[in-house]
Structure 1
């Protein structure tokens, strides 16, 4: 996601800091060693403060919040008044979605300045959910210097006023709000949503339109932008302005291409149905504030902060589809696919985002080893909407992981039929994936045209440049053209270890061993522990006379769980080294190009 510099900085402050509450003093009070994983602990056998505390910290580090909660509670049995334990337990409860229990601790810790921002939001949300808006307002006092916290407080206060029946006052508050330029995407959207809830259709239309035309703001906060597009389209459709509703979705397509919820909402509007607004109540509006800011901050390293925002949001709007999908994605990145599946399954069937959740559900089922269930699930999705190309991509990803390349090729044959004779740039991945399937089936006469078609549609796509260039070099064809393609891919993605490996291996295949060593050493720094890269580096070392280092790299490759077909060749090299260059060059190297990695499969 693209972020403004301001938001990138703010992600490290405010609530984020509260997730780093230090237990240095508590930890230093014991000499016990922390366990490697909370799974190795038996809750019933923990019989000391030190054991419970360290087990809780390990579980928390693993984002295993159910166990973290149990161990923190056990530690509190030994030290009931330990303030920092109470803080950690409260946050673990909120992160696990246990809002009511967390709110009880928030009330207890209300005067604790270390967690004041967490407790103020929690208590205000509890009051909003109970319909006690005046009480919520008291909890939302903020006089600090942080721009993000100030914005959040202003937006939540405005929605609290809506709940009190003071919609006009809420609108004026946000219209008068001063702040950094990046405020506008959030304030305009919330002004539109408040105007819509209080029945000011013209005001809502104006504010939503300003949000949708704010492309820079949309790049900063795409989740909020998507909500604005759908809100404007919904408003126009329900007002009987069908074409204006479709125009709003088309405007959204310019910034967020191939977004399934836009397509689903477009289908609903074209069918003459009246879509349901995303926000209809003050509680949903307040929930949306935390969703919007959490979505804008969502990036590597900020997952805990984002999850806290989103879990608070769920406390007021449990059926918000985009919140559930975002939580599912965070759970997947945290290595918790079963938790992700729970989130995806909670997305309401009537939501325009249901299909996204279903696609991600199928992919995640495969990750958990339920490949047959995943295949059946995705086949059913394809049957329900044969024109949705994303379904073929998701199903093809599962087939690729299962190495069922014949079925994968047949799947993409159908996708190409659906696309028809005039594919667009957005369809490059279909041809690329079909090319991979045919290349794996050793049908190069079918694979090569697909790779070329993918490049015709998207000339600077680094994966395609890498795959086709690597394949040509590996087959001793079009060597210079293939090398140039790989170099271009490296320029586009200089930090991708797999693509840098391709460049090193291309130099190796062309007999330029010193250059191969340079690139392969860089590749192994970028992607340590990859069996193929270690194997390639070992070969290059051998050719430049660094035979001890070559053997070491081959052993590392063997220890890195290579594909079964690679094992005998690596073992032979460890025992005998490489044959003379002349003999090696005469052999046909059947090693295929590196397959796209897991990150490329997401829908």
Structure 2
């Protein structure tokens, strides 16, 4: 299908281009109109649009001197080269464009960064000054250009007074001004450096979790190892899923090699981090082409900071470019134990998405067996196995964790909850109920555990009133959660309070419109409120959902034939 789509696009573009040439060929003088030339150009465009940079640069490279006809071509060719990490080739092509007076935004940026790396700051400034706003770069242009100019100024003067303008950067990327202000102090080694780092990591208005790493790394570079450990250990407790923090914790505490090298005395590495922030911002706006471009420029400026690749992998994962994502995760796995486990989990999830469930399970089990075990890794493996319906094996792993930790441990109630769910799935309700109740005794305000236990009681026709009270509490704790809202509505339905049930089930539909169970519950409630035409509409809708299980579809077909009276 992908091959067909690719060929179709080329043919379509070729016909469009041919039509343009035939009707207005005088507008593009000197263009070689032969089919092979046209095919190479549009094959390059289609490959680029498909994030296939290997083929896009191959097709673009066959077009000699085409930059004189189309600047879009030179822009995409440079991006293709950068995304393939062919930085020297991108530089040489940018010089060629300069010689022809055909420089583009990308070529000036490349030339400026090359001079910057060679510490030819006057030449770098010349190229950066030639950067002009473009529609494509509009979201980041002001931030990018102002940042480059400010850092050039600081490099030249090495004056603490010049840190001030960084605070005055006006852009949609407001957080970047705090980051750059801190790095400027660090670069100039001012007496306020540690204070500035403290300010940024204690800022509660935004998520600056990443910069705990940079603070701890700065302290380690200063040989203040005990301080660095204190910062990173506290950060690890607060942000247990942050890869950068926890990998550096492993570096400091277990002496794993640090493969995320950063020194704020190195201006290139600071600019690399600025580009990473821009790439992240572009990714959140779904501008993945430019996001990839700036990530790879970050890698060019600081090739020793290997975790920059993680954002690249995330982009490809979102784009469903699974093979590209898997290849990057394999490289990320070499950074250290934290990235190794994370990468193998991501690869397993990709395999599962590709309907290779057994392969995914074996992949993660093998990775787990090759690594030193710890309770968090065991917990994550158990969760993966439970989600893959390997309930007995997950119960075995959950039980092994409970034998190793005290009840006061933060994982204890979570392990009980997950094991309880696994017991429920294998229909061992006695043990499931016991685990879920014990989990709530330790963590009484966990809305999701309350929801699971109460919903299970409702489905079993047990403790309905108690379940209703529990669900009202859960709903107050987690308003606008579709599953909890549905459970509350369903409890009211079971108590024959159909009118109030309808209110909550209707809200659940708004929150989760494509959930088959919630739609079925709402249809049942409509029927009992004498809204039978509407009920049939929702039952029919469930039958159209791919996520609806066959057993549910069979039940709904009976409801459509007989209503609720005979089902």
Q: Structure 1-normalised TM-score?
A: 0.72
Aligned length: 530
Instruction: State the distance in 1 between where 2:351 and 2:5 align.
Output: 25
* RCO comparison, higher one (Cα < 8 Å, 6+): 1
Is contact 2:167–2:178 with CA below 8 Å preserved after alignment? no
Deviation of 1:304 after TM superposition, in Å, equals 5.9
Aligned to 1:322: 307
Instruction: State the distance in 2 between where 1:467 and 1:122 align.
Output: 55
**What value does the CA root-mean-square deviation take over the aligned residues?**
4.5
Instruction: State the distance in 2 between where 1:512 and 1:77 align.
Output: 76
> Measured at CA, do residues 374 and 467 of structure 1 come closer, stay the same or move farther in structure 2, by a change above 3 Å?
same
> Measured at CA, do residues 394 and 129 of structure 1 come closer, stay the same or move farther in structure 2, by a change above 3 Å?
farther
> Measured at CA, do residues 65 and 269 of structure 1 come closer, stay the same or move farther in structure 2, by a change above 3 Å?
closer
Is contact 2:217–2:228 with CA below 8 Å preserved after alignment? no
Aligned to 2:197: 211
Deviation of 1:412 after TM superposition, in Å, equals 1.9
Matched, 1:266 2:232: no
Cα-to-partner distance string for 1:197-251 (whole Å, 9 max, x where unaligned): xxx5xx4x85245314434547625354143234135325xx2x44222212134
Q: Which runs of 5+ in 2 are unaligned?
A: 18-38
Deviation of 1:569 after TM superposition, in Å, equals 1.8
Deviation of 1:187 after TM superposition, in Å, equals 2.2
Deviation of 1:309 after TM superposition, in Å, equals 3.2
Cα-to-partner distance string for 1:29-63 (whole Å, 9 max, x where unaligned): xxxxxxx9786232696262538899998887776
Cα-to-partner distance string for 1:355-378 (whole Å, 9 max, x where unaligned): 333433333333333434433343
Q: 2:16 aligns with which of 35, 40, 50?
A: 50
Q: Structure 2-normalised TM-score?
A: 0.76
Deviation of 1:440 after TM superposition, in Å, equals 0.7
Matched, 1:434 2:423: no
Matches within 5 A, 1:398-417: 398-417=384-403
Deviation of 1:553 after TM superposition, in Å, equals 2.1
Is contact 1:539–1:578 with CA below 8 Å preserved after alignment? yes
Aligned to 1:138: 126
Instruction: State the distance in 2 between where 1:455 and 1:120 align.
Output: 60
Instruction: State the distance in 2 between where 1:352 and 1:167 align.
Output: 41
Aligned to 2:559: 573
> Measured at CA, do residues 366 and 209 of structure 1 come closer, stay the same or move farther in structure 2, by a change above 3 Å?
farther
Cα-to-partner distance string for 1:148-178 (whole Å, 9 max, x where unaligned): 755544544566689xxx5872766436633
Instruction: State the distance in 1 between where 2:381 and 2:10 align.
Output: 45
Q: Which runs of 5+ in 1 are unaligned?
A: 1-35, 585-603
> Measured at CA, do residues 351 and 385 of structure 1 come closer, stay the same or move farther in structure 2, by a change above 3 Å?
closer
Matched, 1:469 2:462: no
Deviation of 1:491 after TM superposition, in Å, equals 4.5
Matched, 1:81 2:69: yes
Matches within 5 A, 1:383-398: 383=369, 388-398=374-384
Instruction: State the distance in 1 between where 2:319 and 2:256 align.
Output: 39
Is contact 1:338–1:368 with CA below 8 Å preserved after alignment? no
Instruction: State the distance in 1 between where 2:484 and 2:315 align.
Output: 26
Is contact 1:472–1:478 with CA below 8 Å preserved after alignment? yes
Matches within 5 A, 1:479-494: 479-494=464-479
Is contact 2:492–2:500 with CA below 8 Å preserved after alignment? yes
> Measured at CA, do residues 476 and 273 of structure 1 come closer, stay the same or move farther in structure 2, by a change above 3 Å?
closer
Instruction: State the distance in 2 between where 1:502 and 1:327 align.
Output: 39
Deviation of 1:73 after TM superposition, in Å, equals 9.2
Is contact 2:543–2:553 with CA below 8 Å preserved after alignment? yes
Structure of greater Rg: 2
Q: 2:179 aligns with which of 179, 186, 190?
A: 186
Q: 2:507 aligns with which of 522, 525, 533?
A: 522
Is contact 1:189–1:211 with CA below 8 Å preserved after alignment? yes
Is contact 2:147–2:166 with CA below 8 Å preserved after alignment? no
